[in-house]
């Protein structure tokens, strides 16, 4: 069965610290990969996506992610977090042919000023 | 441009009742998907509709049904509500089935 695993459930960082959130998936075919973010009181927003091409993708607000096919991973990174990055982050995988997204359980990021 | 809109925002029902949730996609988007998000978990896929046809269904009982209208808006219906149906129901739209999905604010359903 397809699955998405986010290793970090709750991360606490100080401002200016570097961030890396892990995401591994289980699926044998062509995949589309996403990171969504949910800021407090707001709805899910697309942070970045990978469909094909350069495995290092850049998103909004200085976030980037790297697709490593051999490791079935799509980790999210940011060199220096800000207090405003406090939010819940979801990794999601879609198969190449359908719109079904499988989400990880999410990582709550708390950035201390 | 207006994003995905959902109504109502909040809903309280009792066990055994039925509920209808509504979603309007982004203009020009022909695909609508529904997800259930229980507190502390990631969204779980319920249905996808594209061009008014069901294109995918998640592991949910037959109490859950949906449809898409000619204007691409969609309804999610849940019959015989159970306490466990309490969740945030999210609608997402995309230009076509496998394209990037954009989410609405959700409908918070509480079943008492």
**Residues in A touching B40 (Cβ below 8 Å):** 105-106
**Rounded to an integer, what distance in angstroms lies between the CA atom of residue A68 and that of residue A24?**
10
- From first CA to last CA, the distance across chain A in angstroms is 41
Which of A11-25, A27-41, B95-109: highest mean pLDDT?
Answer: A11-25
Before B41, cis peptide (omega within 30)?
no
- If one counts every other C-beta atom within 10 angstroms of the C-beta of residue A21, the result is 23
**pLDDT tens, B35-91?**
999 988 999 999 999 999 999 999 999 999 999 999 999 999 999 999 999 999 999
Substitution target from B5, B42, B88 for chain A, most A beta carbons within 10 A: B42
pLDDT at residue A12, as a whole number: 97
Residue of A43, A96, A97 lying closest to B106 (CB–CB): A43
- Average pLDDT on B3-10 reads 97
Longest dimension (CA), chain B: 38
Question: Band of the pLDDT at B1, cuts 50, 70, 90?
Answer: low
Strand partners, B33: B48, B92
Q: What share of chain B is helix, strand, coil (3-state, %, to 5)?
A: 5, 50, 45
Judged against a pLDDT cut of 80, whether residue B8 lies above it is answered with: yes
- Average pLDDT on A57-83 reads 96
**pLDDT tens, A52-66?**
999 999 999 999 999
Q: How many helices (H) and strands (E) does chain A have?
A: 0, 12
3-state SS class at A78: strand
Question: Judging by beta carbons within 10 Å of its beta carbon (0-12, 13-18, 19+), is residue A5 exposed, middle or buried?
Answer: middle
**Rounded to an integer, what distance in angstroms lies between the CA atom of residue A38 and that of residue A8?**
16
**Rounded to an integer, what distance in angstroms lies between the CA atom of residue A95 and that of residue A99?**
7
Residue of B41, B48, B105 lying closest to A100 (CB–CB): B48
Q: Does B65 touch chain A (CB under 8 A)?
A: no
Strand partners, A105: none
Judged against a pLDDT cut of 70, whether residue B93 lies above it is answered with: yes
Residue of A nearest to B32 (CA): A99
Q: Does B64 touch chain A (CB under 8 A)?
A: no
**Rounded to an integer, what distance in angstroms lies between the CA atom of residue A63 and that of residue A35?**
10
Residue of A36, A97, A105 lying closest to B98 (CB–CB): A97
pLDDT at residue A70, as a whole number: 92
> For tokens 């490593």, what's the residue?
A68
Judged against a pLDDT cut of 80, whether residue A97 lies above it is answered with: no
Q: What are phi and psi of B69, to 5 degrees?
A: -95, 165
Strand partners, B50: B31, B53
Judged against a pLDDT cut of 90, whether residue B18 lies above it is answered with: yes
């Amino acid at each position: 069965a397809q699955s998405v695993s986010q290793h970090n459930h709750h991360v606490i960082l100080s401002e200016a610290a570097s961030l890396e959130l892990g995401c591994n998936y289980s699926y044998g075919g062509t995949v589309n990969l996403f990171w969504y973010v949910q800021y407090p009181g707001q709805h899910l927003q697309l942070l970045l996506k990978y469909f094909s091409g350069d495995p290092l993708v850049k998103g909004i607000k200085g976030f980037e992610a790297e697709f490593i096919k051999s490791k079935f991973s799509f980790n999210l990174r940011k060199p220096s977090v800000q207090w405003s990055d406090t939010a819940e982050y979801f990794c999601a995988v879609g198969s190449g042919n359908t719109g079904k997204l499988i989400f990880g359980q999410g990582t709550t990021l708390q950035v201390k000023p | 441009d207006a994003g995905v809109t959902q109504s109502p925002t909040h809903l309280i029902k009792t066990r055994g009742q039925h509920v209808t949730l509504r979603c309007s996609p982004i203009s020009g988007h022909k695909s609508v998907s529904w997800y259930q998000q229980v507190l502390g978990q990631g969204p779980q896929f319920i249905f996808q509709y594209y061009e008014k046809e069901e294109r995918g269904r998640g592991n949910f009982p037959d109490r859950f049904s949906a449809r898409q209208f000619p204007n691409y808006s969609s309804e999610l219906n849940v019959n015989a509500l159970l306490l466990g149906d309490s969740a945030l129901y999210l609608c997402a739209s995309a230009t076509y089935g496998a394209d990037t999905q954009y989410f609405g604010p959700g409908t918070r359903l509480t079943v008492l």
